[in-house]
A and B are shown apart, each in its own frame.
Chain A
């Protein structure tokens, strides 16, 4: 090695200088990163136990902690009029076992310093390694021998009733509950609402039978993570769960072909993706005096975790509002406008039904502006590709999150469990970073086109109606703001609203009799055996026809066509009803079936008792300058409508009703009847004007009485 005194001196100088040099760092630019570190997925071990349960073990000795998770793969099940029982499963699992009362069990858990919690699909526990064997005793006890003591059931249900009451005062909880029901509809397990009424129907039998039926080894997973070797874990898994058999509570098909569990009833998965609302539906839940409006934009999404575009969807959501501070919603609504503390979106992939939600809490005065900006940003994801900078930031952030998540050894176990539950490719997580890196701006836009529906969504606002409703109607597809209550039901107007008392001697029966007499008398009406009414109208500017068929005693059909295209068809054979539309077909049930049954009678005024309906005279009102009697009709199923009869002529002038809507909720529809003309000895209105859900005027082109109708018209496949 060549060395001169000069070199040596120079070297010495550089060794002395660093303290000075450090002050010279270039502060004007961000420092360059070093070479990217490699990210290592931890190892896991997975095997089947003799009883069919799958064990997953992750060894990590960094902390003296071990966790156990028992997870059952249970599809979402409709709860119906006992909504709430599944939530009680979780609470009651730890409220008594074959070996311990609740009090003893709680003492055990706390005495071990453990965390232990249960839910409707399993149990989770965590403790120091030295206490873990005893914690596993408790986990096993819960899974294999929960007893659901009646006294504990009553206590838990009372607390839940209190919580349901309390929910009505919490704007975020209201937004969650109503949001779920408007996104998924109340006909989907994710959209059901637990109310005081449904909770009162729940008995401990249902809670227990759910557990007995669904907690089965063949759909079970046992996940052990932490300060435990695979050998220890395997021995433990076998010791506790290897031979466990689950309870004997099978599902058997009932007379209607539904699967049913004894003492629990039908267990219908009901997992079809709910329809989109069709346009922008604005729903408002009034919470007078609110300091802020909670706003959500919501719609269901067909997105499963194993969808080939699932990762693109997550990049899309990250850019729009998924957690990064530089997301569009945060930058626009917080950093630019100062409307909110935070605005976020989520695009949730789910094995049964995915969903989208975007929202924020804002001061009352900017509610409409904030909602408009949310919609604008969602639309913007579809209309143009994201910038290279946004894409790079989102991808880096997601890669960073992935690496950070691996700090927790439970992440590796979660990945393994997800791979099984969601049927992911085996190398899904190993290839995650590579696949993420490959996502392009075009992919993101394609995902936006597929998964975002800014023109077919619900805009939900929970807030002070007086101070925050202004301007929202402009966002709505039908220029209306629909009022909902905290349980996700449309707010129905008070049936006596605006009515004055009817003159003495007038009863509901005299009003109905006068109407029948006015249209031709009971003898003439009774002779109508079949009836076909053809109308013309227009739908969104296009000429359309509507035909209605009635056949005594109980058949009904309706079809609506635009040109030759069938838009909607309802067929009711006296037993079942089917709705066909452009979105597919479905059997009508509950309230919807109730509505169709009512239509089966050409003159329902004669049939209230046999339909299980009761009519009540509300009073007299002014209707377009004429005096009218208002009659409220209720059905046992909970539906109701108001009919208005002309005091002078006896004829029916109007019907006002709340119709159930696709996508959940109800809308108030008003139908005006006019231009009565005779056909077959009976007067029929030739002009019907409907406003509410969809505005339209129907003009009768032909009304045929007793001309015969083919039975095929009423056939339901």
Chain B
């Protein structure tokens, strides 16, 4: 059975975890094969925690938290890390903000100091705020506005959600960033950047006992914050298919189909994710094999699920081959969705998906930086750190009946947004 072989070839990630009195959760993963260490802090705050007139604030704030602290001057975060021979970065999603450094193992304390300063008393100055506002606007232009098809996510989100804050993209909107003021920074920091809303992960070459003592020195004195408010908005079900045309600076039309799906970590999510793999993981997957290869309707086709904490989306996206109309491309894609609804997935095909997942799972833990991120993610969103090793079992348990059931439940026209992307010059 696939389940048994999967366990046989996948090596478990060993870890220990504990809480500091101030509520900071700590996970340690020891690995001495390379003399480096990853230090990561995940704050459970993302764009879904933003006020409706401050869209993009969580991500903007991520930029500002590299500006400095009571003890770290403007621009010095990166200098400390790079002088030590390390790298640093951060990223923000709808649900969380993650900061990390990868350092030579003798510089672990530096990473602890930098991250604890960020959590304890970050500081931003006017020059930093004004500069980062411009930087974020350029990031928005570069990633969304100046890329062909770059607006897909914002265009989908604003039609797929009516109430939930997922209706705006993490990058936000410029008018809201322009309106952000000092009160916003202070409130956001006080509310969300507290130890009881974060997890600290160390992965790599360190001695756990010493590391525990050191991290306690740096993070222990940080005061616990108030209970973190959670956005409880529940998005009502879609009232039928939403369909629209978007004009963009493109040559080839494209079709986007976004289906509303259940949240990350729910039983149906695994079957939905398997369905997406069935559709587009590898050249033998159904969309790639049929839409792109056999019918030659597309130059590119893919589908993926957004792993959101609240109910998210599965998005299928295809760029038309020369001379193929969006209608004909959509029909070709829909044939594959209908097939998943109408026929149970053959066992052999399901076995293929399980082998792919087993292999991916073995590969995704190849670097300490990735392991740190996976551990933080499992703790924050999957219902416990242990899921880093057991998550794969949920996939292995998915049956053909599960896939057909979620196909019929979620992958139906009444539960989706369909966008046709057309070249600007076809605008009437």
Contacts and interface: CB of A to CB of B under 8 A. Distances in A.
B218 interface: yes
B217 A25 contact: yes
Interface string B72-104: 000100111011111110000000000000111
B68 to A, nearest CB: 12
Contacts of B110: 30-31, 33
A335 B83 contact: no
A154 to B, nearest CB: 9
Interface centre among B34, B285, B360 (most CB of A within 10 A): B34
Interface of A: 18, 22-23, 25, 27-39, 62-65, 94, 102-103, 106-107, 109-114, 126-131, 155, 158-159, 161-163, 165-166, 168-172, 287, 289-292, 294, 324-326, 331, 334-341, 361-363, 392-393, 396-397, 399-401, 403-404, 406-408
Contacts of B84: 33, 396, 400
A361 B142 contact: yes
A112 B110 CA distance: 43
A38 B35 contact: yes
B106 to A, nearest CB: 4
Given A166-B148, A339-B138, A28 B71 contact: yes
B189 interface: no
Contacts of A338: 130-135, 138
B231 interface: no
Contacts of B367: 407-408
Given A103-B289, A400-B85, A406-B34, A113 B75 contact: no
The main secondary structure of chain A at its interface with chain B is mixed
Contact of B252 (A64, A107, A165): A165
B127 to A, nearest CB: 9
A326 B78 contact: yes
Interface stretch (B5-13, B376-384, B403-411): B5-13
Given A109-B284, A162-B322, A399 B85 contact: yes
A335 B362 CA distance: 39
Given A110-B285, A130-B9, A363 B321 contact: no
Given A335-B131, A408-B367, A106 B284 contact: yes
B319 interface: yes
Contact of A400 (B86, B134, B136, B137): B86
B208 interface: no
Interface string B137-157: 111011101111000000000
Interface centre among B142, B217, B357 (most CB of A within 10 A): B142
Contact of B79 (A166, A340, A393): A393
Nearest to B354: A113
Contacts of B412: none
The main secondary structure of chain B at its interface with chain A is helix
B257 interface: no
Contacts of B352: 107, 110-111, 113
A113 B355 contact: yes
Contacts of B1: none
B250 A169 contact: yes
Contacts of A161: 322
Contacts of B299: 159, 162-163, 166
Contacts, number: 236
A305 to B, nearest CB: 23
Interface of B: 5, 9-11, 33-36, 70-71, 75, 78-80, 82-88, 102-107, 109-110, 112-113, 116-117, 120, 130-139, 141-143, 145-148, 205, 213, 216-218, 220-221, 249-252, 281-285, 289, 292-293, 296, 299, 319-322, 351-352, 355-360, 362-363, 365-368, 423-424
A18 B212 CA distance: 13
Given A166-B250, A166-B319, A406-B34, A361 B138 contact: yes
Contacts of B366: 62-63, 65, 407-408
B296 A155 contact: yes
A155 B9 contact: no
A110 B283 contact: yes
A393 B83 contact: yes
A165 B324 CA distance: 13
Contacts of B87: 400-401, 404
Nearest to B79: A326
B75 A131 contact: no
A35 B109 CA distance: 12
A166 B142 CA distance: 18
Contacts of B143: 341
Nearest to B355: A113
